[in-house]
Amino acid sequence: MKFKFFKRSSQKSSCPLVQVSALSHPGRVRDNNEDSFILLPDWGVWAIADGMGGHQCGEVASAIGLMALQRSLVAGDNLVHSIQNAHQAIKKQAEQDTTKSGMGTTLVAVQIHGESYRVAWVGDSRAYLWHNGLRQLTRDHSYVQMLLEQGLIDEADVLTHPYKNVITQALGSLDKESVQVETIEEKWKSGANLLLCSDGLSSQLSDSEIAAILATDCCLEQKAGQLLTRVLANTAEDNITLILLALP
């Protein structure tokens, strides 16, 4: 399949033996792409932001968030503090420009340090680990996830629920002084793949479809391309962004 107006990046990280492939595509319905991603191998950090707000404010929010994240990391702040700084930067911009009121973004990031990695997130952008099976590392900050955990709906209801796109945490929310940044930290698993993605991918592909692609012997770039191709074969109503890392 020929992809139209998508962004691609492949690199070898300065973190030993870590390889990375990143793709972003507007999908089959939208002309603009409100997703952003950033690759900061010198700090061992990779991140995706999925913007929201309409009238191109979503792409502004995701870009501001990731630029603020980078500035904070470069200044020596840890990952969680840097995400909180990103939240404040988006809020400040929205307060200064009322045309951008209501903009916000989700964010998922991974930071490698030593023999461990740390995933941090706000919203419903996700991280998955493939290692002899697929495991979702993140827990969505969403209304349907809250209903699911309370036993009010089951898994079969999630994708068709009328409020499936409502999230409960986002960077830039004017009513929140700080956001809930959840984290998970684990040791490396040799030969594993780590997938970060916006919900434009996770809402279109089942765990079994993601697992089937990551289980192949293809190179990292081919796996990333196959994930995007599979999403675009569906309705692909949302923007799609993914970062795929091959762990040592």
Per-residue pLDDT of the chain (248 residues; tens, 9 = 90+): 333 344 666 554 556 578 999 999 999 998 889 999 999 999 999 999 999 876 568 999 999 999 999 999 999 999 999 999 999 999 999 888 888 888 999 999 999 988 899 999 999 999 999 999 999 999 999 777 777 767 777 776 667 776 677 789 999 988 888 999 999 999 988 889 999 999 999 999 999 999 999 999 999 999 999 999 999 999 999 999 999 999 76
Query: What b-and-e string marks burial along 221-242, b requiring 16 or more CB atoms within 10 Å of the CB?
Result: bebbbbbbebbbeeebebbbbb
What's the rounded Cα separation, in Å, for the pair 123 and 118? Answer: 17
What's the rounded Cα separation, in Å, for the pair 85 and 62? Answer: 13
Residue labelled with tokens 């955990």:
149
pTM: 0.90
Name all domains of the chain by residue range, CATH numbers in brackets. Answer: 7-246 (3.60.40.10)
